[in-house]
Amino acid sequence: MEKILITGVTGMIGSYVLQNLIQKGINTLAGVRNSKKLDKNLFSNSDAVYLDYTKTDSIEKALSLANKVFLVPPMHPDTSAMMKNVISRMKSIKAIVCISASGADANSTFPLLRWHGEIKEAIINSKIPCTFLAPAHFYQNYIQFCSESIREEDTFYFPQGNTKKSMIDTYDIGEIAAKLLVKDGHAGNTYNLAGYDYDNLEIASILTNTLGKEIKYIDIDPIEYKKMLLEMKIPEWKIEIFLKLNAAWKAGSRLKSNEEAKLLLNRELRSFEEFLGNNKEKF
């Protein structure tokens, strides 16, 4: 019987993949690192198993119970080594859908793209059929990075200038991943999931209209932004990656518009307005 292991199930995409697969009546196995989150109430409609990428026993146990995997490499300096260990133990796995990044390249000088490139190479070398999803910037990042300052100061801060960047709802990525996990014919493809293009003044205006109070965007100096993230207890290696990404967006780099996500979904993508309507209480 088919059973799909969902990694990153407590994160921004995996939670929606699980929800979608359960709705389709698929046998699912939630791979959960935090034992408190293994609580039956959180995963009542799915089997769940302890899974920590730093614990090989837990990887082997989780993989032995499934025949397909939704793989979310966490953003971590050891992610490439951790994922290579996971992939090398996928003896009984028949298919993978893996979250990647646009421009993933094992020779890149930018750590994030190098890690994703190395993971992609390891999966291709394993010969396990895999579909890669390279999504745009998540709307959900605004919950993670901006909700507190919006609540307390009616303001959000990024060192991004006001150039447009492509953005997408992880709800849509989750629905696409769930479809690809149950449908044949996509293995070997990398889908660049561009979303809609927004700049931060447009985002501020949508926040203002939805929250019913004026929300300002401040294009903060990168040094000040680093101080802010350090206060949020974000590790320095991660801050350096965010600063590089923000500088690239400010310089105009963004995932080029395409129809791939819309075609895979067979519907329009969720807009930032819809995302905010569904997550208003988090701001």
Ligand X SMILES: NC(=O)c1ccc[n+]([C@@H]2O[C@H](COP(=O)([O-])OP(=O)(O)OC[C@H]3O[C@@H](n4cnc5c(N)ncnc54)[C@H](OP(=O)(O)O)[C@@H]3O)[C@@H](O)[C@H]2O)c1
**89, amino acid identity:** R
270 scored as a contact of ligand X (CB under 6 A): no
Residue 110 near residue 237, CB atoms below 8 Å: no
Token pair 């501020």 in the structure block, residue: 204
DSSP state for residue 259 in the 8-state scheme: S
User: Smallest distance, Å, CB 215 to ligand X?
Assistant: 20
Residue 87 CB neighbour total at 10 angstroms? 22
Q: How does DSSP assign 16-34, residue by residue?
A: HHHHHHHHTT--EEEEES-
163 scored as a contact of ligand X (CB under 6 A): no
Residue 182 near residue 243, CB atoms below 8 Å: no
Q: Looking at beta carbons, which pairs linking 104-107 to residues 24 or more positions away fall under 8 Å?
A: 104/132, 104/134
- Taking CB under 6 A as the binding criterion, the range among 49-57, 62-70, 120-128, 197-205 that sits at the site for ligand X is 49-57
Give the span between the Cα atoms of 13 and 172, in whole angstroms.
Answer: 9
Please give the structure tokens belonging to residue 204.
């501020």
Please say which residue, 26 or 143, places its beta carbon nearer to ligand X: 143
User: Smallest distance, Å, CB 74 to ligand X?
Assistant: 3
Give residue number: closest CB to ligand X: 11
User: Smallest distance, Å, CB 1 to ligand X?
Assistant: 25
Half-sphere exposure of 248 (CA within 13 A, CB side): 13
85 scored as a contact of ligand X (CB under 6 A): no
203 scored as a contact of ligand X (CB under 6 A): no
Residue 270 near residue 170, CB atoms below 8 Å: no
34 scored as a contact of ligand X (CB under 6 A): yes
- Taking CB under 6 A as the binding criterion, the range among 51-59, 63-71, 103-111, 194-202 that sits at the site for ligand X is 51-59
Beta bridge partners of residue 247, listed in sequence order:
none
Give the span between the Cα atoms of 220 and 159, in whole angstroms.
Answer: 5
Interaction pattern, residues 118-137, with ligand X; x per rule: CB under 6 A = -----------------x-x
Instruction: Out of 16, 43, 53, 242, name the contact with ligand X by CB under 6 A.
Output: 53
Give the span between the Cα atoms of 90 and 283, in whole angstroms.
Answer: 40
Instruction: Out of 72, 87, 96, 177, name the contact with ligand X by CB under 6 A.
Output: 72
- Taking CB under 6 A as the binding criterion, the range among 4-12, 155-163, 196-204, 225-233 that sits at the site for ligand X is 4-12
139 scored as a contact of ligand X (CB under 6 A): no
User: Smallest distance, Å, CB 44 to ligand X?
Assistant: 18
Per CB under 6 A, residues contacting ligand X are 8-12, 14, 33-34, 51-54, 72-75, 99, 101, 112, 135, 137-138, 141
